[in-house]
Amino acid sequence: MEDQKVIQRITSLRRGGWWRFKDVNNITRQEPMVQDFIGSSYNFMYKTYTSKRSDTKYKCKYSPNKNSNYYRDGDNREKQRVVFLKILKEYGIK
Amino acid sequence: MGLNNLILDNSGNWLVKGKFLMYKKYVNIPICFIEDDVYYVFLDVKLPKQVLKLTKELMKMNVEFYFTTPEYSNPKTKLNHNLVISQYLFAYSRPQFFYGFDKIGFDFIRNFKHWMEKEKCFHLLKENYDSILKKVVNRNWYDYYSNTHIYDCELDIREEFSVMYRDIQINRII
């Protein structure tokens, strides 16, 4: 399933003849195919861990704590950290 | 002797199709073929682990084998020794192959020299070597924050490449 997703995404990159692509073997491709993108930055960018199964359907590629734009409600580690630093400053520890 | 002997595991990713041995990574990618009883392995940066495993197996089998460019898997590519020489040098500048061949104890430069002797194309080496050295190995940019030159290739690889041409010449004399 994971492979299918990646192939699907890479296939969408295939464009017309005007677009030249240099693959990992330093070979310029006039009309790149799926195999030409393997090992390139596109390949790594389009990797996924999600599947159609219920347990991995909404799985994130990266930790949500890494992404600053990720909006989350409720209590989370970032908010707890801010509160914790405030308490430390109050007591003059930091 | 045949390509079926080179299927290294039972993972189902290895496949013999036509004259090529293939490995499946999203799609089937050609990795090896036989021509005039000589094994040719595609020196493909997409499949470094598989190429190293295959090299180790071929070393065990004690057969004549050389590397070639993945472009030859396409039947419309015309035979050009410049492509193969530049692929030999380019792939050796990648850390996966540079440290990988060292780890399995394979003398890459010797194999390269043997291939050039077989094809009688030593005169093409210098031009390709200079090109790869300048455009790939010594490629760098200046970091104004730390006032240093940052290189794409590691120091070990740059040092090895700086004496590589001389090594090949010495190998040729010996």
Domain count for chain B: 1
pLDDT of residue B132: 94
- Least confidently predicted of A46-50, B19-23, B56-60: A46-50
Task: For residues B7 and A72, give the distance between their C-alpha atoms in angstroms, rounded to a whole number.
Answer: 49
Q: Does residue B66 belong to any structural domain of this protein? A: yes
pLDDT digits (tens, 9 = 90+) for A31-75: 888 889 999 988 888 887 666 777 767 766 666 555 555 556 667
ipTM greater than 0.95: no
Q: Does residue B137 belong to any structural domain of this protein? A: yes
Please list, in sequence order, all residues whose beta carbon lies within 8 angstroms of the beta carbon of residue B18, skipping any fewer than 6 positions away.
none
Domain that holds residue B147: 34-173
- Least confidently predicted of A49-53, B15-19, B149-153: A49-53
- Name the burial class of residue B116, with classes exposed (0-12), middle (13-18) and buried (19+) by CB atoms within 10 angstroms of its CB: buried
Percent of chain B with pLDDT over 90: 76
Out of B27, B71, B90, closest to residue A35 by CB: B27
Question: Model-level pTM?
Answer: 0.81
Q: Spell out which residues of chain A touch residue B91, defining contact as CB-CB under 8 Å.
A: 25
DSSP state of A37: G
Q: How many CB pairs under 8 A join A and B?
A: 34
- CB proximity B29 to A under 8 Å: yes
CA of B13 vs chain A CAs: smallest distance (Å): 13
CA dihedral over B71, A13, A47, B95, signed as positive or negative: positive
For chain B, the residue count is 174
* Local confidence band at B54 (pLDDT 50, 70, 90 cut-offs): very high
In this prediction, residues B55-76 reach a mean pLDDT of 92
Half-sphere exposure for A10 (CA within 13 Å, toward CB): 26
Strand-pairing partners, residue B68, are B42
